[in-house]
Structure 1
């Protein structure tokens, strides 16, 4: 019976060490992929909202700061910046 207890104790000790080793190996091989995806998703939502607010500010006729800019130019800038944003986010997600 003592031999069985020693085997179980040894197995449990080795089993407790193994997940940490696997996690470290996974982190070294793959990277912190799930966390990067979370960051990319969250920050893309924030950046998209910021770009949309900027577009609304540019096409607002009562805003004197952007009087010389046409709505078409503002929309083209918006589309270009959104394309670049999504390209960067897609690249960051892996």
Structure 2
């Protein structure tokens, strides 16, 4: 795989990259730009490669946890369909806990990734008096800091699981 990457390392003009992308560019190299006639697999690989290279480690961890919650909810639903739902309150509580935790994690992801993007791009939050102090705290454009967002996430998770445990009865 290393020789493929080194052969794509020299930069070329977009005209030659477009004309040779379908025949000589391997899928594992990840083209910088896509042509109008790119295949679906090239587009999917490009999107995946851009996601992995541009997303912060914190956001990747949140996305992995959200994928795990989808898996847990799917397994619980499949078990309910295949084996029956005799303790229905237990199924409903577990499934609602997975869905609720997914929603809380998505909210945490939106709060933390939006302030990272605003701080990294240096948008309108840097202009004006005291803009850098606002971005440094992570409160750009009326958002909240990472610590406050995580505290809200923990508080919401405790409330959610309290109600789920109470609902099992």
Question: Smaller-chain TM-score range?
Answer: 0.5 to 0.7
Which stretches in structure 2 are left out of the alignment for 5+ residues?
1-85, 119-124, 126-138
Aligned residues: 61
The structure with more radius of gyration: 1
In the other structure, the counterpart of 1:40 is: 93
After the TM superposition, which segments of 4 or more aligned residues of structure 1 sit over 4 Å from their partners?
A: none
Which stretches in structure 1 are left out of the alignment for 5+ residues?
1-32
In the other structure, the counterpart of 1:58 is: 111
User: 1:62 Cα deviation (Å)?
Assistant: 1.9
Which structure: greater helix fraction?
Answer: 1
Equivalent position SS for 1:69? coil
RMSD: 1.9
If asked which structure has higher relative contact order (CA below 8 Å, sep 6+), I would say: 1
In the other structure, the counterpart of 2:52 is: none
